[in-house]
A and B are shown apart, each in its own frame.
Chain A
Amino acid sequence: MQWINLFLANLWKEYLEMKRYLPNTIALVLTFYFIFLGLFGVIHFFGDPSTQDVNIQFVIVNYIFWFLALSVIQMFGFEIVNEAIRGTLEQLSMSPMGIWRILSTRLIASTIIYGIIIFVLLIITMLTAGQWLNIDILSIFPIFVLTVFGMYGVGLMVGGLAIVYKQIQAFLQILQFLLAGLTFIPLAASPFMYFLPFVIGVDLVRDIMIGGQTLIDIGWLPLTILFINAFVYFIAGLLFFNYCERMAMKKGLLGQY
């Protein structure tokens, strides 16, 4: 029950802050949409006409996952830095629920809110592009959850760095491009991609949304690999975060910015 109350409190706070910072939220959504329009225009006017439809569909899925990965992975770091600047990080650390639980529930809450925004944007981008992807919710949902779970693990690692070093904005800028690479490069490019976080999840979603496959078509092996991949990254992220939190407490860096 405590977990549910914790989650509801953070969902409520995320919603309120999004409402209070409405211009910022609108700017974020519009930026996302206009960047997509730019990509669409490039493919439409300069791309190979014979593969244009597939390319556009590919860009829609990748772009949406890039946006999601950016939101989920960077948010841990941003939240920690913002809380340290505000002066509330130590206050959160004094909750018997533990800071990682608070930030995780906040992250789940914002994933839900961003998930809704992304879904609306997906519909708008498909309308704009005139390309309709296969939105098979039953097949996409479990893969989506596992993929996001793996992203949380990477987010926790970024959060761990933020809790010790705080000034990680430059690193987060670079991270954007690394995440673009992970979401845009297909799994077939290299077998090593299986070991990287969430690449397999994005690839499976592409198979469903562009290739029209179902969970049964995909089979148990890729799903098992996705599960192991997500689980390993999440556990590694959690261990790393706790290690960094302990280090910050030993060195007295927790509330410093």
Chain B
Amino acid sequence: MEKIIEISNLTKTYRKRKSREVIQAVNDVDFNVYKGEILGLLGPNGAGKTTTIKLICGLLYPDSSEIKIKGIPNTDSRLESLQYISAVLEGNRNLYWRLTVRENLEYFAGNRGRSRKEVKEEIDKLLQMFRLKDKENELVNRLSRGMQQKLAIAVAMLANTEVMLLDEPTLCLDVQTGLEVREILKSIVSNYQRTIIISSHDMDVIQDICDRTVIINQGTVVIDQRVDELIKLFEVRSYRLTLTEPLSLDQQKAISTRFPTNEYVEDQAYSYLTVQLEKSEDIYQIFQVLQLNRTPIDSIDRKAIRFDEVFLKIIQGDHQYAMD
């Protein structure tokens, strides 16, 4: 696959204004972005996601290393590299609120050196695609938040760049608009062959539309993997056993020794044991413990895991385990 963005050993530090304390925002970050993929950039607040996005956009200069956009270093040849990138960084704040929907699209296209005449048809198509046609002459400050967000994405689309960066594209949107935005993003990739990088806290969005995710924590990349593989990785190792008799204290002790993160719950009818296995064959160790008292097993289920649980596990330091 063709590399569109190459990031290697990226480092950025800030100095606090008053205390002059040095903050390491991004530390030795490495990853590539490939043509035609949707990449999810994840991380808790303050992890370095926005800094990374701004470094890719050329809005910040790195302390060391460089980012290449289609092979062009974005520090030395910043303006040239910007021909391939557009972004929605602050959602609806990226627009001129006293201009109409169409005027905003025309103005931003003009800022990239394109004439109103040249983009007229493209704007018509985008207004249809984003379902904003009936609002084209409405001032932006009179639009709903969802419509403003869609317009901001349409502005980035009109730039006709190969890569689009979207910082929290579904933030504060209602369910319906959020789903609509997801569908639009999917169609942008499939119908227009664009590459999208999304930074989001919405795990559903990442799970639904992203091919691959890069998780950043404390300025460092902790995971760079396909979303489906990542879920599978955690999913296959998380099992829930339903037992028809409770475990003895010795059995519970033995389980806890071998699987410290296990969860054991009893109710009147059944007992439930949930375990995370490092290797699939570790399940035989559980059978050995159950065999001690010949504890009957009612069922064994692979526990369905949500992407937000995967994310939390990784952020809490479980990533070494995931990377095995």
Interface residues of A (CB under 8 A from B): 1-3, 5-6, 8-10, 12-13, 16-17, 20-21, 86-88, 90-98, 102, 246, 249-252, 254-255
Cβ contact within 8 Å between B103 and A94: no
Q: CA A86 – CA B111 in complex, angstroms? A: 17
Cβ contact within 8 Å between A6 and B110: yes
Cβ contact within 8 Å between B60 and A252: yes
Residues of B within 8 A of A6 (CB): 110-111, 113
Interface size class of B (residues with CB under 8 A): 35 or more
Residue of A1, A5, A13, A94 near B59 (CB, 8 A) is A94
Cβ contact within 8 Å between A95 and B82: yes
Q: CA A73 – CA B90 in complex, angstroms? A: 29
Known: A90-B90, A95-B82. 16 other contacts (CB 8 A): A5-B110, A5-B114, A8-B115, A12-B107, A12-B116, A13-B103, A17-B98, A87-B93, A88-B94, A92-B111, A96-B83, A97-B112, A97-B113, A102-B111, A252-B14, A252-B54
Q: From DSSP, what is the main secondary structure of chain B's interface residues?
A: mixed
The 7 A-B pairs with the shortest beta carbon distances in the complex, nearest first, are: A9-B110, A2-B113, A87-B93, A96-B82, A87-B90, A5-B115, A95-B111
Residue of A1, A13, A255 near B99 (CB, 8 A) is A13
Cβ contact within 8 Å between A94 and B114: no
Chain B stretch 115-149: residues in CB contact (< 8 A) with chain A: 115-116, 118, 139
* 23 contacts across the A-B interface (CB closer than 8 A): A3-B113, A5-B110, A5-B113, A8-B115, A10-B110, A10-B111, A12-B107, A16-B98, A87-B94, A88-B96, A91-B89, A91-B94, A91-B108, A92-B111, A96-B79, A96-B82, A249-B58, A249-B59, A250-B61, A251-B14, A252-B54, A252-B60, A254-B60
Cβ contact within 8 Å between A249 and B103: no
Residues of A within 8 A of B93 (CB): 86-88
Q: CA A97 – CA B107 in complex, angstroms? A: 13
Residues of B within 8 A of A102 (CB): 111
Residue of A1, A21, A96 near B80 (CB, 8 A) is A96
Check if B205 is an interface residue, CB within 8 A of chain A: no
Most chain B CB within a 10 A radius of its CB, from A5, A21, A249: A5
Q: CA A95 – CA B94 in complex, angstroms? A: 13
Interface residues of B (CB under 8 A from A): 14-15, 51, 54, 57-61, 79-80, 82-83, 85-87, 89-90, 93-99, 103, 106-116, 118, 139
Cβ contact within 8 Å between A1 and B113: yes
Q: CA A21 – CA B139 in complex, angstroms? A: 13
Cβ contact within 8 Å between B60 and A94: no
Residues of A within 8 A of B116 (CB): 8-9, 12
Cβ contact within 8 Å between A9 and B106: yes
Q: CA A3 – CA B90 in complex, angstroms? A: 27
Q: CA A252 – CA B118 in complex, angstroms? A: 35
Cβ contact within 8 Å between A94 and B86: yes
Residues of B within 8 A of A87 (CB): 90, 93-94
Q: CA A162 – CA B322 in complex, angstroms? A: 48
